[in-house]
Amino acid sequence: MDTPKASIKKIALNYGLLLGLASIGWSILLFVMDKHIDRPWWSGVISFLLMILILVIGLKAFKKDNGGYMSLGEALKAGLAISLIAGILGVIFNFIFVSYIDPDVVAKTLELTEERMYEQNPNMTQEQAEMALSMTEKFMSPGIMAALGIIVTLFFGFIISLVAGLIMKRNPPMN
pLDDT in tens, 116-154: 888 888 888 888 888 888 888 888 888 888 999 999 999
Query: Out of 47-51, 63-67, 109-113, which region has the weakest mean confidence (pLDDT)?
Result: 109-113
Q: Of 84, 97, 99, give the one whose Cα is nearest residue 157.
A: 84
The 8-class DSSP code of residue 175 comes to -
SS3 of residue 35 by DSSP: coil
Q: What are phi and psi of 85, to 5 degrees?
A: -65, -45
Taking the C-alpha atoms of residue 50 and residue 27, their distance in angstroms, rounded to an integer, is 12
In angstroms, the Cα distances linking 157 to 71, 73, 75, 76 are 17, 14, 11, 9
Instruction: List, for residues 8-51, the tens digit of each pLDDT value.
Output: 999 999 999 999 999 999 999 999 998 888 889 999 999 999 99
Inter-helix orientation angle 41-65/142-168, to 10°: 50
Please provide the average confidence, as pLDDT, over all residues in the chain. 91
DSSP string, 102-131: -TTHHHHHHHHHHHHHHHH-TT--HHHHHH
| Burial class for 15, CB neighbours closer than 10 Å (0-12, 13-18, 19+) | buried
Using a pLDDT cut of 70, give the percent of the chain over it.
97
The 8-class DSSP code of residue 36 comes to S
